[in-house]
Amino acid sequence: MSRIGKLPITLPQGVSVSVNDKNLVTVKGPKGELKRSIDPDMQVNIDGGIVTLVRPTEQKRHKALHGLYRALLQNMVTGVSTGYKTEQELVGVGYRAAVKGQQLELTLGYSHNIIFELPEEIKATATAEKGQNPKIILECNDNELLGMVAAKIRSLRKPEPYKGKGIKFTGEILRRKAGKSAGK
């Protein structure tokens, strides 16, 4: 048995899960509603406040899908109950971020400002405190969407290895290079 797949998912207070005949799982909670289509071979059982996944055979494909879909359902339940949050830092002289509605305006040392259009599910805030690097805080109930958007923002100016300038996740440890030696 898959160690991840066989674990039951306990539903927090206020979260409900439903499955229709086409294996479309809908999770509703205080932070919103998420839907995901599941492989027709997998079976989702809902008993009171506990959700379990059952695979039909011991095939390698079914074993892989068992753990995958269990993890995805757990992420959906966590998302609609508590939500997800990501923080990114802008390291560099003159680097700034501003949020205007669903647009994130970034000044990253290029000849122009970058305007990044955020999906409507994501709530963004930008902070700039004196003596600290500007921060972008993204919040969403969908972990997959949040990760993709955060990675796309980071790809606009990846941290370089010599001075560490660029967009990095808060708490991320960068591998730094020494650079040229001063003299012989």
Task: For 69-130, give the DSSP string.
Answer: HHHHHHHHHHHHHT-EEEEEEEESTT-EEEEETTEEEEE-SSSS-EEEEPPTT-EEEEE--T
Instruction: Give the CA angle between residues 85, 77, 120 to the nearest 5°.
Output: 50
Cβ(132)–Cβ(87) below 8 Å: no
Quick one: how far is CA 54 from the chain centroid?
26
Helix (H, G, I), strand (E, B) or coil at 37: strand
Domain ranges of the chain: 9-81, 84-169
User: How far apart, in whole angstroms, are the C-alpha atoms of residue 113 and residue 103?
Assistant: 12
The chain-wide mean pLDDT, for the chain, equals 93
SS3 label, residue 33: strand
CATH of 84-169, picked from 3.30.450.20, 3.90.930.12, 3.30.300.30, 3.40.50.300, is 3.90.930.12
Answer whether residue 1 shows pLDDT above 60. Answer: no
The tens digit of pLDDT for each residue in 102-143 reads: 999 999 999 999 999 999 999 999 999 999 999 999 999 999
Give 78's contacts (C-beta < 8 A, 6+ positions apart): 84, 143
Q: Give me the amino acid identity at 162.
A: Y
Task: Report the run of H or E that residue 154 belongs to, with start and end.
Answer: helix 143-155
Q: Provide the pLDDT for residue 182.
A: 63
Per-residue pLDDT tens over the stretch 132-181 = 999 999 999 999 999 999 999 999 999 999 999 999 999 999 999 988 87
**DSSP code at position 163:** T
CATH number of 9-81: 3.90.930.12
Q: What is the pLDDT of residues 18-71, one digit of tens each?
A: 999 888 999 999 999 999 999 999 999 999 889 999 999 999 999 999 999 999
Q: How many helices (H) and strands (E) would you count in the chain?
A: 2, 13
pLDDT for res 92: 92
| Fold match, 9-81 / 84-169 | yes
Per the structure block, which two tokens stand in for 25? 């799982």
pLDDT of amino acid 3: 85
Amino acid (one-letter) located at 173: I
